[in-house]
Amino acid sequence: MALVTITRSIGCGESDIAQRVARSLKVKLYDDFELKESALYMGIRSEDLKSLDEKAPGFFDRLLSRTPELYLDLMEAVVYEVAQTGEGVIIGHGSQFLLRDFGCALHVLIHAPRSIRIQNIVGEQGIAEDAAEKLVIKSDNQQRGFFRYAFNLSLFDPSLYDLVINTQKMGDDSAVRMITEAAGSDEVKSCSLSAVDTMKRRSLEKQIKAALIEKDINVSILHIEVPEPDIVQVGGFAHSNEDRNRILRTLNTLSGVKEVRSEITIMPSTGD
């Protein structure tokens, strides 16, 4: 098994490198499209997908603009869901941070000087150099801003990565070879069952929170735990029996939940 996260800046040849690494390792590539499909499978409403087309912003970017908290919980749930298989190539979406303690994941940063990235985009997209420069600057600002917002960290914190590759110096072929060899090493491939179990439980926790937010349920007054992969324990407060029942109905309809243990307390009335 091999699990790789790839963080990149636009114009580094990242898409081709990620695809080639996935083919070489014989694992699935999880780009925006594949992560979107995983999100749909996990219960995201189909109407969120209807307006998407090939020219639209990425699915997760659209979701972020709609409900930031829902986006973050869903993104984490999907990344953890993928990670529990122990294999795949995940592009972006904070995966290098979310899986930082997952010993069998190799975290890679691909970068290149801005001038090189601009020229790459000019060649790939056939646009003017000034337009390519604006695209690079905008993408960099959005990517760094999101990472600060989501994790309160710098995207280029070296502690987040196991391997940093400058594609100007190394080239795409060398980058693919280096990532593939590192991912295939015994140190990276070894993945304990406890680590896989942790990812499974984390995925379900985030999926639950996202589902509750979708139902306009206040999760800040709830305490949610997954002590076992298919068992949910929920405590905290609800404003009424109706709210408590709505919470429990939501949890019981989620895929992967076999048992719900409730310790929800009804908040006392504050009537005059």
What does the pLDDT read at residue 134? 93
Q: Which CATH class is domain 3-189?
A: alpha beta
pLDDT at 44 exceeding the cut of 60: no
pLDDT at 204 exceeding the cut of 70: yes
SS (H, E, C) the chain: CCEEEEEECCCCCHHHHHHHHHHHHCCCEECHHHHHHHHHHCCCCHHHCCCCCCCCCCHHHHHHHHCHHHHHHHHHHHHHHHHCCCCEEEECCCHHHHCCCCCCEEEEEEECCHHHHHHHHHHHHCCCHHHHHHHHHHHHHHHHHHHHHHHCCCCCCHHHCCEEEEHHHHHHHHHHHHHHHHHCCHHHHCCCHHHHHHHHHHHHHHHHHHHHHHCCCCHHHEEEEEEECCEEEEEEEECCHHHHHHHHHHHHCCCCCCEEEEEEEECCCCCC
What does the pLDDT read at residue 50? 41
Higher pLDDT: 228 or 127? It is: 127
Higher pLDDT: 246 or 78? It is: 246
What does the pLDDT read at residue 233? 93
What does the pLDDT read at residue 64? 58
Average pLDDT over residues 63-89: 76
Task: Give the predicted TM-score (pTM) of the model.
Answer: 0.75
pLDDT digits (tens, 9 = 90+) for 90-143: 998 889 998 887 877 899 999 999 999 999 999 988 999 999 999 999 888 888
All structural domains of the chain with their residue ranges: 3-189, 215-266
What does the pLDDT read at residue 101? 79
What does the pLDDT read at residue 162? 92
pLDDT at 194 exceeding the cut of 90: no
Q: Which CATH class is domain 215-266?
A: alpha beta
What does the pLDDT read at residue 33? 79
